[in-house]
Chains A and B, each alone.
Chain A
Amino acid sequence: MAAPSVPDVKEIQRYRQAAILGRVVLYLIVAVMLFYAISPFYWMLNSSLQLEKDVVSVPPNWVPPTLNIGNYEEIILRKPADTSVAFDKSMAGYSTFPTADVLPSMWNSFVVALGVTIINVILGCLAAYGFARLYFKGKQSLFYVVLASRIVPEVSLIVPFYLMIRGLGLLDTYLGLIVAYIPISLPLAIFVLVAYFETVPQEIESAARVDGCNRFQTLWRVILPLSAPAIVTAAVFVFLTSWNEFLFPLVLTQTMNTRPITVTLLDFVSEFSVSYARMNAAGVACVIIPVALALMFQRYFVRGLTAGAVKG
């Protein structure tokens, strides 16, 4: 056990250099991280704001040479494409470029996602309270079953679902999609909420119960107001999961009446009639709401997840 020696000037200098170097490395990692996360979005946005002839230039244009919002006008107002550039007009299918309905399908996505969010947050809060606070037989295994049912690949559910939704006469309806989406995100909502409810001190609840609140009032007046981050997290989770759903609507929708933006996006990626500029504009339309939501609510989101990631 040697006593720590008094550090001399050189040693201090070395420490300081190491600290600065460490700092530089950290900032470098963060810079790489931000580039990794954001640059693909930048590229999509950049391409969506260029003329078709600029989009397909080699080497690529790092910024739009001429700013062009025409692509957005075309996909939203369903204008026919400007076929004079970049492609031979005789190319199969090009003159009838699919002018898919971007705005109506965004609306469809929104309505369905909102419906699922409302239902799942209400059901999720109730169920999570039961799992977090009440004792009943088989609770643990039921919780596992609910969680585990999220694990089944959607591909394996699609055929029974198709038959079921068709049997109920709900093909190509909002309700059909909502019904199909509910089980996809409900377990996750319950999971997030249970983890958070468990962090609310039992004493607060006991006090409310002594004051004459029944279980439902306790949930409504005590637990829920304290659980805003988890509720917002669950809601955003459910909304995004529903907005992002692809396979179910691909099979369960038939017309523009209900087709969500994720499926409509396919029309812009089809092989024979691609306008890359418009494809990217449609991509922006598909991501703008999820991105806005994530940015708006991320603060809640991080706090809402904390309970799940830290407890234990």
Chain B
Amino acid sequence: MANILSVEGAEPAAQAGLKGWFARRMQTEGGIAAFFVGPALLLMVLLNIYPILHSFYVSVHVYNLKRPHRNPFVGFENYVMFLESEDFYNALINTVIFVVVSVIAVALIGLIFSLALNELGSGVRKWAVPLILVPWAVPYVANGLIWEWIYHSDYGVLNGLLVALGVIDKYQTWLSNPDRALYTLVNAFVWKEVPLATVLFLTALQAIPEDLYSAAKIDQAGAPRRFWHITLPALKLAFLLVLVYTSIISIKTFDLVYILTEGGPGDATALVSWYTYVETFRNLQFGSGASISYVIAIATFILAIGYIKILYRPQES
């Protein structure tokens, strides 16, 4: 093992056998890289790639826990079945609405907050940033609990506040109202995800050299033009990070649905992850559950590859 600690290329390794092989490996940069990257990669393969592949195996069989010993191979029947089911399309539409509204809201609110923080002095930032970061840190379960209590139709403070302000006359239902439920979910999600977006935008804004703005002012560029030609381009990467991260997290949203609505009322807030969960753990159809999650995973994967391609475009100077 001492070979790892020696400077590669310092002396030719002459030993034979496993030790010699190891020593020779350590002479090459690729071999050293395997030492550094290997452990993490191995765990990711074992604990992520393997379950993903196993999940595919399950998805082309009938796995019903009520009949645990009969797991016939059915090919893509599970896929055909859920792709033809109306419940799935309902969940898909809910998810698309949820993701699009959430991502736009997170990016927009985060941008406005970060611009305001950036304009104000570092004195304000120093105590404001830690405080706004707090919602990001809490578990989605607690997030759900907090908002469930705020939305409560009999005792909730949202109703209390709106009545006190004279916006509404009497207490309303929020989570149990089919027209509002999905958006109450969006709000709870956005509340938790805005802080990170704000911080990401803010760090990008702070990295813009002040000279650029001074130069633009000398050239008599107005505030809108400065924003368009200096600020926005500098935020490109932060934008992409926020979009990627928020999209992925929002597609996966499950905990919030579990705590807040359980997909209800009716199926108004059944997102695909919730639909998968119900199919798997309530209907105990493991095969069909796995096939749904496989399709979601592939769809998300394609989306992410697209994002990453944009994110990691070779640097242009």
Query: A310 and B203: CB pair below 8 A?
Result: yes
- A156 vs B47: C-alpha distance when bound (angstroms): 13
Inter-chain contacts of B305 with A (CB < 8 A):
144, 148
Q: Does A212 contact B (CB under 8 A)?
A: yes
Cβ-neighbour of A37 out of B4, B131, B203, B280 (below 8 A): B131
Query: B51 and A157: CB pair below 8 A?
Result: yes
Query: B304 and A160: CB pair below 8 A?
Result: no
- A177 vs B192: C-alpha distance when bound (angstroms): 25
A106 to chain B, nearest CB (A): 12
Inter-chain contacts of B134 with A (CB < 8 A):
37-38, 41, 291, 294-295
Q: Does B263 contact A (CB under 8 A)?
A: no
- A22 vs B119: C-alpha distance when bound (angstroms): 10
Query: B132 and A160: CB pair below 8 A?
Result: no
- A134 vs B119: C-alpha distance when bound (angstroms): 40
**Interface size class of chain B, counting residues whose CB lies under 8 Å from the partner chain:** 35 or more
Query: A294 and B139: CB pair below 8 A?
Result: no
- Pick from B12-20, B80-88, B148-156 the stretch touching chain A: B148-156
Query: B203 and A305: CB pair below 8 A?
Result: yes
Inter-chain contacts of A157 with B (CB < 8 A):
48, 51-52, 55, 293
Q: Does B164 contact A (CB under 8 A)?
A: yes
- A130 vs B34: C-alpha distance when bound (angstroms): 8
- Greatest chain B CB density within 10 A among A4, A47, A123, A137 is at A123
Query: B301 and A269: CB pair below 8 A?
Result: no
Query: B160 and A290: CB pair below 8 A?
Result: no
Inter-chain contacts of B44 with A (CB < 8 A):
145-146, 149, 183, 186-187
B155 to chain A, nearest CB (A): 5
Query: B155 and A58: CB pair below 8 A?
Result: yes
Inter-chain contacts of A7 with B (CB < 8 A):
none
Inter-chain contacts of A130 with B (CB < 8 A):
32-33, 36-37
Given A124-B40, A153-B251: A41 and B32 interface contact (C-beta under 8 Å)? no
**Contact bitstring B114-128, A, C-beta under 8 A = 1, else 0:** 001101100010001
Q: Is the interface of B mostly helix, strand, loop or mixed?
A: helix
Query: B120 and A26: CB pair below 8 A?
Result: yes
Total A-B contacts with CB atoms under 8 angstroms apart: 309
Q: Does B54 contact A (CB under 8 A)?
A: yes
A205 to chain B, nearest CB (A): 13
Q: Does B297 contact A (CB under 8 A)?
A: yes
- A204 vs B312: C-alpha distance when bound (angstroms): 25
Q: Does A276 contact B (CB under 8 A)?
A: yes
- A123 vs B43: C-alpha distance when bound (angstroms): 9
Query: A283 and B146: CB pair below 8 A?
Result: yes
- A243 vs B255: C-alpha distance when bound (angstroms): 14
Query: A294 and B54: CB pair below 8 A?
Result: no
Inter-chain contacts of B49 with A (CB < 8 A):
149
- A269 closest partner in B (C-beta): B145
Query: A153 and B129: CB pair below 8 A?
Result: no
- B253 closest partner in A (C-beta): A153
Query: A136 and B34: CB pair below 8 A?
Result: yes
Interface residues of B in 239-290 (CB under 8 A from A): 241, 248, 251-252, 254-255, 258-259, 273, 276-277, 280-281, 286, 289-290
Query: A27 and B138: CB pair below 8 A?
Result: no
**Contact bitstring A290-312, B, C-beta under 8 A = 1, else 0:** 11011100110110011011111
Query: A136 and B30: CB pair below 8 A?
Result: yes
Q: Does B142 contact A (CB under 8 A)?
A: yes
Inter-chain contacts of A183 with B (CB < 8 A):
43-44, 47-48
Cβ-neighbour of B293 out of A33, A58, A153, A282 (below 8 A): A153
Query: B300 and A153: CB pair below 8 A?
Result: yes
Query: A159 and B55: CB pair below 8 A?
Result: yes
Q: Does A175 contact B (CB under 8 A)?
A: no
**Contact bitstring B19-61, A, C-beta under 8 A = 1, else 0:** 0000000000110111111011101100111111011001000
A155 to chain B, nearest CB (A): 5
Q: Does A244 contact B (CB under 8 A)?
A: yes
Query: B155 and A265: CB pair below 8 A?
Result: no
Inter-chain contacts of B273 with A (CB < 8 A):
153, 155
Q: Does A152 contact B (CB under 8 A)?
A: yes
Cβ-neighbour of A136 out of B29, B128, B145 (below 8 A): B29
Given A136-B29, A151-B304, A156-B290: A38 and B137 interface contact (C-beta under 8 Å)? no
Query: A126 and B6: CB pair below 8 A?
Result: no
Given A152-B297, A214-B4: A246 and B140 interface contact (C-beta under 8 Å)? yes
B175 to chain A, nearest CB (A): 12
A-B contact pairs, 15 of them (CB 8 A): A26-B120, A29-B113, A33-B113, A33-B132, A34-B132, A41-B134, A56-B154, A126-B40, A155-B254, A157-B52, A157-B293, A246-B254, A265-B145, A286-B145, A298-B130
**11 more A-B contacts (CB under 8 A) besides A294-B133, A310-B238?**
A33-B128, A37-B194, A44-B145, A44-B146, A147-B304, A149-B48, A186-B44, A214-B6, A298-B130, A308-B241, A309-B200
Closest 4 CB pairs of A and B: A156-B293, A130-B36, A294-B137, A244-B139
